[in-house]
Amino acid sequence: MYTPLKLKKENPIVLGIESSCDETAAAVIQGRRILSDEIASSANIQSLYGGVVPEIASRAHTDAVAAVVERAVKNAGIAYADIDAVAVTYGAGLLGALLVGVSFAKAFAYALNKPLIAVNHIRGHLAAAYLDEPQLKPPFITLLASGGHTAILHARSEAEFDILGGTLDDAVGEAFDKVARVLGLQYPGGPHIERCAREGTPNIPMPKMLKGGGGYNFSYSGLKTAVINYCHTKEQKGETYSIPDVAASFQCAAIDVLVEKTVAAAREKGVNTITVGGGVAANGYLRETLARACEKAHLKLVLPEKRYCTDNAAMIAAEGLVQYGLGNFAEMSLNAKASIPLSVTLEKK
């Protein structure tokens, strides 16, 4: 059994393990510096089914996890004994998929007599910004835009966030995926919509999306339905439509409101830094639009590299580092959880 730490290190070496969806990932960081970052994805198989099949994801994780962790440690140029803590995503996500990472991390930590850290996947997305900008310190405003969440948060400290607003229905990533499916594009839809939108013009009117009102809340189900209705009506009339124009119009409507409200939140809170996290933050149009808006408003923007916006293990290690600093270590009885509230302060132990 792990013996409690007598002295916490200043820049510990943290191994992060992520298996909440269709990516098996492992990474090693030292302080906020990334030493290695490995990923094996079953997305190619999943795209044959138009979405993630949980059973296929679990089996792919089981096949990949040992080799991915081994590669991460080897490429970091360290020995197993050099690892100071093992951080693993315990939720939210697909239960069977999470269990693979959690079981592996528990066995690994136990065998090495190292502390185990339980990471909320969404907090991992928020912590990715620390790897991009090692000097970053709260307070800041974070735009969280992933497949399951859309929210604007006010980070008061590394561990304490206020949720200023969020989606009332679908997450923005979910809307990208559903619209992509209607347009006959592959899963995951976001990158395909982005590629397609580059060839199109945003000339199709879209619903207003709680633009002026709604505080910092969003609603994506109306936008999604408007796109679906547009396509179906055209098809019923036997008329053609431009898929690139639909993609561009949807993308602008979905992203512009996020950018507008995120900048407004920074102004209202008197905070001069904005960070982003989550798969949709890899979207080129979002990145360019937000960068321009921040420049205009004289705000500093921390924009993690695209690969650290989508699911990865370096961000799990980064959140592990935050929890290490707080001395929040998990028991060997740790279990996976399919859902954990976004109100991340609830997770304080």
Q: Nearer Cβ to Zn ion, position 12 or 147?
A: 147
Residues between 107 and 146 with contacts to Zn ion, criterion CB under 5 A = 146
For position 262 contacting ligand KG4 by CB under 6 A, the verdict is no
18 lies in the site for Zn ion, by CB under 5 A: no
* Residue of the chain from 90, 108, 140, 176 that contacts ligand KG4 (CB under 6 A): 176
Question: Which of Zn ion, ligand KG4, none has residue 190 at its interface (CB below 5 to 8 Å by kind)?
Answer: ligand KG4
- The span from the CA of 240 to the CA of 100, in Å, is 46
101 belongs to the binding site for ligand KG4 (CB under 6 A): no
Task: Please choose, from the candidates 18, 116, 35, the residue with its C-alpha nearest in 3D space to the C-alpha of residue 327.
Answer: 116
Q: Closest approach of Cβ 313 to Zn ion, in Å? A: 11
Report in angstroms the alpha-carbon separations of 22 from 57, 61, 142, 228, 306.
5, 8, 25, 27, 17
Separation CA 60–CA 102 (nearest Å): 15
- Find where tokens 């979910």 sit: 174
Member of 12, 189, 202, 304 binding ligand KG4 (CB under 6 A): 189
> Does residue 188 bind ligand KG4 (CB under 6 A)?
yes
Q: Does 177 bind ligand KG4 (CB under 6 A)?
A: yes
- Distance between CA atoms of 128 and 319, rounded to whole angstroms? 8
Interface residue with ligand KG4 among 91, 101, 202, 279 (CB under 6 A) is 279
**How many amino acids of this chain bind Zn ion (CB under 5 A)?**
2
Q: Which is nearer to ligand KG4, 13 or 227 (CB)?
A: 227
What is the DSSP pairing of strand 13-18 with strand 85-91? parallel
Angle between helices 189-197 and 172-182 (to 10 degrees): 70
**Rg, the chain, Cα only:** 20
Rounded to the nearest whole angstrom, what is the least distance from the CB of residue 261 to Zn ion in the complex?
21
Give least dist CB 319 to ligand KG4, A: 13
> What's the closest the beta carbon of residue 140 comes to ligand KG4, in angstroms?
19
With binding defined as CB under 6 A, does residue 202 bind ligand KG4? no
278 touching ligand KG4, by CB under 6 A: yes
Residue from 22, 37, 194, 256 in contact with ligand KG4 (CB under 6 A): 194
Residues 145 and 286 sit within 8 Å (Cβ to Cβ): yes
Beta carbon of residue 126, minimum distance to ligand KG4 (angstroms, whole number): 11
**Looking at 101, 165, 190, 320, which residue binds ligand KG4 (CB under 6 A)?**
190
Q: Does 304 bind ligand KG4 (CB under 6 A)?
A: no
Measured distance CA(94)–CA(295) in Å, rounded: 39
User: Which residues, at least 6 apart from 299, have a Cβ–Cβ distance to it below 8 Å?
Assistant: 263, 266, 272, 273, 274
**Which two tokens mark 30?**
């030292």
- DSSP string computed for 286-307: HHHHHHHHHHHTT-EEE---GG
User: Which of 170, 311 has the CB closer to Zn ion?
Assistant: 311
Exposure string for 259-282, b = 16+ CB within 10 A, e = fewer = bbbbbbbbeebebebbbbbbbbbb
> Which listed residue (12, 173, 200, 304) binds ligand KG4 by CB under 6 A?
173
Question: Does 311 engage in binding with Zn ion (CB under 5 A)?
Answer: yes
DSSP class per residue in 6-66 = SS--SS-EEEEEE-SSSEEEEEEEETTEEEEEEEEE-HHHHHTTTS--HHHHHHHHHHHHH
CB of 163 to ligand KG4, least distance (A): 17
By CB under 6 A, name the one of 29, 99, 280, 290 that touches ligand KG4: 280
Nearest distance in Å: CB 279, ligand KG4: 2
Q: How far is it, in rounded angstroms, from Cα 289 to Cα 161?
A: 25
Question: Binding residues for ligand KG4, per CB under 6 A?
Answer: 21, 125, 146-148, 173, 176-177, 188-191, 194, 278-280, 282-283, 310-311
Binding site for Zn ion (CB under 5 A): 146, 311
